[in-house]
Homo-oligomer: A and B are copies of this chain.
């Protein structure tokens, strides 16, 4: 017989719809939930609803924010002339953590993928076109992934932006920091060699 009470089954189904949570993990999480402190569960539920209700995409750059526009777009210390184009809001977080970029962002909301029916009109490309002249942008950094779709999106954007006269750059490709040659695949090694730099 089905040994799971109905509320647990409902919870397993809801958890299983989250990305990266398989049926086994959902089951394990649900069983943890029903046996844990009720206050902690209530806190998690409130955090879920609170985050969803209070956070939205920034109307300018597309990053996640409570205020409109976001703190980065309105920060006086950020250089408005450099725009870093990323695929997802998560990427803004990664780059901010590295603390090496002081311009502004533009979140595309995905990458071009003809096979999945994602064309330029499905991404935040029109607003990128508008921002470049409106904010007197001098450089657009294409900080996209080095997978096939990321490369294709970068090529598309570079071509599209070439008419505006703005400088378009891309992230360097090469060995990851702290990694040995033996872990690098052929293509990474090829890119690292192509992009080699003089020792100062």
Contact = CB atoms under 8 A, between A and B. Distances in A.
Interface of A: 1-8, 10-11, 13-15, 17-21, 25, 27-36, 38, 40-57, 63-66, 71-72, 75, 88-90, 92-93, 96
A38 B53 contact: yes
3 nearest A-B residue pairs (beta carbon): A45-B45, A3-B96, A11-B51
A183 B116 CA distance: 39
A63 B5 CA distance: 10
Contacts of A27: 90, 93
Contacts of A35: 57, 64, 89
A63 to B, nearest CB: 6
Contacts of A13: 47
14 contacts: A1-B71, A7-B47, A7-B55, A7-B66, A8-B51, A10-B50, A14-B44, A14-B48, A15-B47, A30-B51, A33-B51, A34-B51, A44-B48, A45-B45
Contact of A46 (B45, B54, B92): B45
B49 A5 contact: no
Given A25-B20, A31-B90, A33-B51, A5 B64 contact: yes
